[in-house]
Amino acid sequence: MLNLTLPHYALFIDGESVEGATGKVMTTINPATGEPWATFACAEPQDVDRAVAAARRVLSEPEWAGITATQRGKLLNKLADLLECHSSELGAIETTDSGKLAAETQSQAHYVANYYRYYAGLADKIEGHTLPIDKPDMHVFTKPEPIGVVAAVVPWNAQMFLTATKLAPALAAGCSVIIKASEIAPIAILEFAKLITEAGFPKGVVSVITGDAPGCSIPLTSHHDIDRLAFTGGPETAKHVVRNTANNFAVTSLELGGKSPILAFNDANLESATNGIIAGNFGASGQSCVAGSRVYVQRDLYPSLVANLVERTKQIHVGDPLDPSSHIGPLCTLAQIEGIERALEKAISQGAKILTGGHRITDLGAGYYFAPTIVECPNTEIETLHVELFGPVMSIAVFDTEEEAITLANASEFGLGSGLFTENLSKSLRVSQKIRSGICWVNTYRAVSPMAPFGGINQSGYGREAGIQAIQDYIRVRTTWISTSSEPMSNPFVMR
């Protein structure tokens, strides 16, 4: 039932704003206040069928299938322009819905326009080839074609960025896309859907749906007419998603969780290491899959760097995410805080020491605020060194040798991001290549670009988003053989 006192957001299917088939509605909470702020329609299996049918249909319609790659690029450029124009309002909506700082959501919405422009430029650069075949009188060539209907499953924590890394290359390749926004804080993506129509994309090329697992996620990821699945989320959910794709054999990429290490060597620039570790842990309130929440510091640097980190962490201003003076806002859900509290309690029982933070902030009302926290870990069994907490919690430990640092960095089931701080070029090259992760930042952290592949290994998933390779992952290659001989085809039962 609709709550008429709150804003309401419909699904976007086949170019239209529609309610779900059963009329089911969910409420989203403003993490800064702990109060409901909007409602949204929930998709059911019938809605998933409708979105997939529209996506399949448009792949054979001239409005989409018949336009050139260059024209697709122009549509993507138009979408990028609109995204820049509406970045402030989209960011404000995302902040209200997820609790992320407005300064971050607005700048991110503005920056991801570059992803759409990058793939707009690539749209007509993906070429086929004429093959120097080993058989006479044969002309053989390849042609890139869109892989088909794409399901893009996007989480709440970096939704504009993670939508762009999937949607932009898929549209550049000529695919159609169903975006499944997280049922936790989906409003920014539902609002973004309006720009799809305004940019001029034909009906059915992009649909945006959301809802719970039985009604939406499972029917979408297991749908027999899905050709490609791009998923970002947690490893446990990903296991179910992979099982679901047994129904459609969809080509799948997974960008999952992380517990990224940051190594600080004795020869690191102290200020740079401090800033990088603070950014890697407390940027986005720690709600990032690449959060560098395992910090290992070489022994001689340890006292000064830890003192710097504690002092800087105590200076972080936690407050209303819409307030420009805030450095950290609330966490998105109460469940995150409860999980952090359980992990910290266990860590303390294992010998860990809380150097700063470690508690809820209660003087900001009923919002989901948690103090930026540093946990000193005297041994490698400490809970917070291994569990992805998705909050502002840094675990810090000491190492002595380069070999020990590499061993500690690789002592994780995850493998998404990593970082190291050293002024020694040889060491940076040597160590960065020995850390098992999809991304390694040296003397910086959390930098991204549409030109740089993004993705992990092990429990952090497989496949890459961004970069030139990403558009190839939304393409199938058709091979055509043409006999150029004037003679009839030879008898197949006479071998020569």
DSSP string, 115-163: HHHHHHHHTTT----EE--SSTTEEEEEEEEE--EEEEEE-STTHHHHH
Hey, which residues does 68 pair with through a beta bridge? Answer: none
Cα atoms in the Cβ-side hemisphere of radius 13 Å centred on 304: 13
SS3 421: strand
Q: At 262, give phi and psi (nearest 5°).
A: -125, 125
Q: Do 281 and 250 form a contact (C-beta atoms < 8 A)?
A: no
Q: How far apart are CA 327 and CA 286, in angstroms?
A: 12
CB 276 within 8 A of CB 424: no
Given the DSSP bridges, would you call strands 35-41 and 441-442 parallel, antiparallel or unpaired? unpaired
What phi and psi values does residue 323 have, to the nearest 5 degrees? -85, 120
Sign of torsion over alpha carbons 65, 67, 71, 75: negative
Distinct helix (H) and strand (E) counts, the chain: 16, 21
Q: What tokens were used for 429?
A: 């090259």
β-strands 373-376, 353-356 pairing: antiparallel
* Active-site amino acid positions: 255
Return the DSSP state at 286: G
Give CA–CA dist 484/489, Å, rounded: 11
Q: What residue has token string 């950014």?
A: 279
φ and ψ at residue 81, rounded to 5 degrees: -60, -45
- For residue 284, how far is the Cα from the chain centroid? 13
